[in-house]
Amino acid sequence: MSRPKVASLSAPSAVSAGKIVSALLAVETPGTGFTDITREAARFLHSTGAREGALMLFIRHTSASLTIQENADPSVLVDLTTALTRLAPENAGWVHDTEGPDDMPAHVKTMLTATSLQIPVLDGEMALGTWQGIYVIEHRARPHRREVVLQFTGSTI
């Protein structure tokens, strides 16, 4: 462990908490893998007139999940899928197997990633890093329709 030797804090900005705006995003996944929803999240945010606050994303499922990951090299997403399969393989002696061999691994992968995410909003935009994209991870083999609640809390124009 280390204490930060150099840790600098910017001047804070402050606004009134203001509004909460909620909507439901339906995402059709093509089966196992990552679907980029960054653009849809930004479109929602702009539609709310958001200035400063936070965007929450919540996925209403237990065999699909959310993550923020690199958006530059698609092979990163291939490797992330491989990593999840290694951590929760099929044919690992799962007790729960009535919904198919990909179902229990899907629950494990959901538990190891995120069901809810929060992203700060500054100056009307998500404060994502340069290489950060927002993804729905489909853990089932077949295509599914997944529901993601989007909710902005903060000041609006």
Residues of span 9-68 touching its own copies by CB under 8 A: 9-30, 33-37, 39-40, 43-44, 47-48, 52-54, 56, 58, 60-62, 67-68
* 157 is a site residue for its own copies (CB under 8 A): no
Residue of the chain from 102, 135, 139, 140 that contacts its own copies (CB under 8 A): 135
**Total site size for its own copies, rule CB under 8 A:** 99
Q: Phi, psi (5° rounding) for residue 2?
A: -140, 145
What is the C-alpha separation between 157 and 40, in angstroms, rounded? 20
Binding residue for its own copies, selected from 102, 118, 141, 157, defined by CB under 8 A:
118
Cβ proximity of 41 and 126 under 8 Å? yes
Is 6 among the residues that bind its own copies (CB under 8 A)? yes
* Cα 65 from Cα 36, distance rounded (Å): 12
Q: How far is the CB of 119 from its own copies (least distance, A)?
A: 6
Q: Sign (positive/negative) of CA torsion 43, 46, 47, 48? A: positive
Site for its own copies (CB under 8 A): which residue of 107, 124, 125, 144?
107
3 state SS of 67: strand
Quote the least distance from Cβ 116 to its own copies, whole Å. 4
Residue (56 or 141) nearer to its own copies, CB? 56
The CB density around residue 72, as the number of other CB atoms within 10 Å, is: 9
**Interacting positions 69-88 with its own copies (CB under 8 A):** 69-70, 73-80, 82-83, 86-88
Residue 100 within binding range of its own copies, rule CB under 8 A: no
User: How many whole angstroms separate alpha carbon 29 and alpha carbon 81?
Assistant: 15
Shortest reach from residue 132's CB to its own copies, in Å: 6
Q: 143 with 31: CB under 8 angstroms?
A: yes
